[in-house]
Every structure is written in C-alpha cells, then in structure tokens.
Amino acid sequence: MKERTLIKEAPQKIGKQIKVEGWINTIRSHGSIVFFDLRDRSGILQVICEKKVPEGLKEEDVVCIEGLVKKRPQKMENKDIETGKVELEAQKIERISQAVDLPFALKDTAGLSLPVLLDFRPLTLRSEQVKAILKVEEEVIDEFRQTLKSLDFTEFQAPAIVPTATEGGAEIFKINYYETSAFLGQSPQFYKQILVGAFERVFTVAKAYRAEPSVTTRHLSEYISLDAEMGFIEQWTDLMDTCEIIIKNIFKRIEAECSKELKLLKATVPQISKNIPRIKMREAQQTILERTKRDNTKEPDLTPEDEKEICQWAKEKHGSEVIFITHYPTKKRPFYTMPDKEDPDFTLSFDVLCRGLEITTGGQRINDYKMLVENIKKWGNKPEQFEFYLQAFKYGMPQEGGFAFGAERIVKQVLGLENLREASAFPRDMARIDGRLSNNE
C-alpha cells in the first residue's frame, strides 16, 4: 500500500504519484469533470477528476485518493492556499466514510449565528474559522506555560473538586459526593498558594467553575484559568512585571505562529506600549469623569462601560490597548488580598484590561497567619473551614502573590470575537452543555 502524503507536501511532489486522504471540503462539477478541494490536517488541495467518482460524492465525505501532482498554469494559481501552485489529477478515489447532507456550507462559518455554531459544534469545529480560533488558544496556553517555565516556575495540577464553597458567593456548583456534598472549585487559588511553600513559584492550567446566573457575552460556566503564584517577591509590583512579560510573550507568539489565522479572522494583536500603563482605580474613575462627565468616582469597581472608556484613554494617551488598573477597594476583594499599608481601604491588587475587558486579575496575598485568620472572620467565615489552607501559613510563608488569566478571554480580545463562547471548543453556560438544556430530558 502506498504511504499517505500530507497535503502540504504536495507542492514538493510535482510529477509524482501520491496517495492523499481527507475530507471533501467543497465540490463542483463542470460537465464530466469534477473539481474538489480536499482537506486534511495540514491544508487544502485542489483535486480534478475526469474519471468516475463514487456516486453522490459530497462535502465532508472522507476519501482516499491516488493521483498525479501537476503544476497549475500560472494564471490558474490560487494564492489563498499554500498548495495553490499545484493540483492533483485523481486516478482512483475511494470513499472511506459517507456524510449526510450538510445543514449549511462549511466553507465560511463567519455568517452563522452563535446558536447554530454551537448546535452543530462537531461539524462547525471543522471550519477554518473555528479551527483558527482554537489554534490561537493552543498557542496562548502553550506560551503561558513556556514563559513561566523559563522563569523557573513549577507546573502543577490543581484539583477541581473542593470541600467547601471557600471563596464565597453563591456562584458555585454543588456535587453529590458519595454520602456528602462537595463543590467545583471557582479557582485553584488555595492550592497554588499552598504550593508556594513547596516550590516558591508555581503555575497551572486549570478549569474554573462559576455558576453565573445570567447570560452575558463574557462569562462561561467552565473556563480555562491560567494561574500562577510566586513567593519571595521584593515588592508587589513584581507580580505586574511578571504578568507583563507573559502578555508580551503571548502576543509575540500569536504574531509569529498564527499569521495565517490572524489574516483569516481579520484580527491584529493588541498594540502595547514599551511599558504597559498602570493606574489606580480611583485615578481611572477620575479620568473617566473628566472625559465623559460620568461620575463613578465613589463606586467600588469599574463598570463594563468604565473598562471600555479607560482602555480607550490608554490607547489614545499611551498607545496601549492593554492597561493595569490597581488598588481595588479592600471590601471588593477576597479576604486573602493584602491591603495597602499606606491606605488600607485599598489593596495591592490589580486587573489587566485589554480592549475594554478584564483578562487578568491578581495581587499580593496576606502571608501572615494571624492576619489571615482575622480577615476570614471579618469576611464572615469560620477559620475552621479553612484549616487545610491555613496550614500553609502556620508553617511559614514568605511574602507572595499571583494572578490568573482567563484563556478564552485573551483569545476573544485578541481576535475581536463578539462572544466568549466562540473562544471555547465546547462552551458551557446556563442554557447549554453541548446541546441545549431545555431539550434535555
């Protein structure tokens, strides 16, 4: 049996007999001649067949083809595909798997509505647009890992089943766990902090779960959290410095590895200044007041509109589509966030906004056992419930902090997607787990 040639290798095989395998991407007949584009994991190739083709051959059929690679006449070259200078003259076409009629053309899924994109996910995942999004996501995650490894961080695997609804809030999923109950972790926060005691610098690519009670374009019930934590920081801004390295490396990686995908999706990576601007939340609110006359200067957080406005400001003023907002109010942050000694109503915390949306949150943590216990009480919780976590601080913990990126959010913002769901292969929300939930028994 002849060995399979990958489509991208075809241009190097002009004049040779090859065997290719893949899906029929598009097909059309001109009289007795059938033209089709064959798709495999490496690319797309035009195939011409003047012989008999399997009956009813159609899009998404899987075929094995033997034929001759021919150079195309120059005026017939197709610059849109990498194999555009050649075509395959098919001598033998064998159908491996037969598809039913498609509900829509797969060639361009950009025009499909989100419900259709998701109802037919096993099919739409095959489109060039959706694959491009997932390719960018793969690179984002891999670059997060590579950068942190290069900075001497240890990778660990965080558990998702947790014993208590620790970080507060009702937005947590409950599990029937043998004879008792457990929960799905809202973040690997406690575990990464615990592991600072072992490895100083740790990271994980984890799942985070939020029982978001409303449908928005920027939340998922299950999302990919890129979490890192580092001990022995000299000052809390070390955390932002590390974030900044990661962000810059991710953008560089996407530009270098995903030029085809960026072009296809008509996207450009966000512009950033040499140093990403850093401003306090209160200053941001003041700036917004001056620009828009909208007075949110007493609010404890930026509204979605504020986030867009301050990003606009950063772009105009600093040439940066990314900005750090710092010093969120103590009351609005979790109990473990370190207050600013100089102004204890505010914390040594930050968010990263990119093109109007938060993509990262982080900050210094309280590493003093007694202060942590006090804060647990102040936040209305019982220290006994945090016994496991507290051990890490009881037995000596340096000054430390960390941050978490939402992987899908980075992808959404870089690619300019309208809905976060588009950045997930299999998004989960109130109304959907694969299929629509109302259709479920």
Q: Which of residues 89-108 bind a second copy (CB under 8 A)?
A: 96-100, 102
Closer residue to a second copy, CB minimum distance, 66 or 142 = 142
Residues 251-280 that bind a second copy (CB under 8 A): none
Residues 369-388 that bind a second copy (CB under 8 A): 387-388
120 near a second copy (CB under 8 A): yes
Residues 279-298 that bind a second copy (CB under 8 A): none
Considering only 368, 374, 381, 419, the residue that binds a second copy (CB under 8 A) is: 368
CB 402 within 8 A of CB 362: yes
Closer residue to a second copy, CB minimum distance, 191 or 324 = 191
Residue 38: CB atoms within 10 Å? 26
Q: How far is the CB of 434 from a second copy (least distance, A)?
A: 4
Considering only 48, 68, 81, 125, the residue that binds a second copy (CB under 8 A) is: 125
Residues 398-437 that bind a second copy (CB under 8 A): 398-399, 407, 425-426, 428, 430, 433-435, 437
Residues 63-92 that bind a second copy (CB under 8 A): none
Stretch that binds a second copy, among 70-78, 150-158, 237-245, 277-285 (CB under 8 A): 150-158
Size of the site for a second copy (CB under 8 A): 95
201 near a second copy (CB under 8 A): yes
Q: How far is the CB of 381 from a second copy (least distance, A)?
A: 13
169 near a second copy (CB under 8 A): no
Closer residue to a second copy, CB minimum distance, 10 or 314 = 10
195 near a second copy (CB under 8 A): yes
Q: How far is the CB of 154 from a second copy (least distance, A)?
A: 6
44 near a second copy (CB under 8 A): no
Stretch that binds a second copy, among 119-127, 248-256, 326-334, 352-360 (CB under 8 A): 119-127
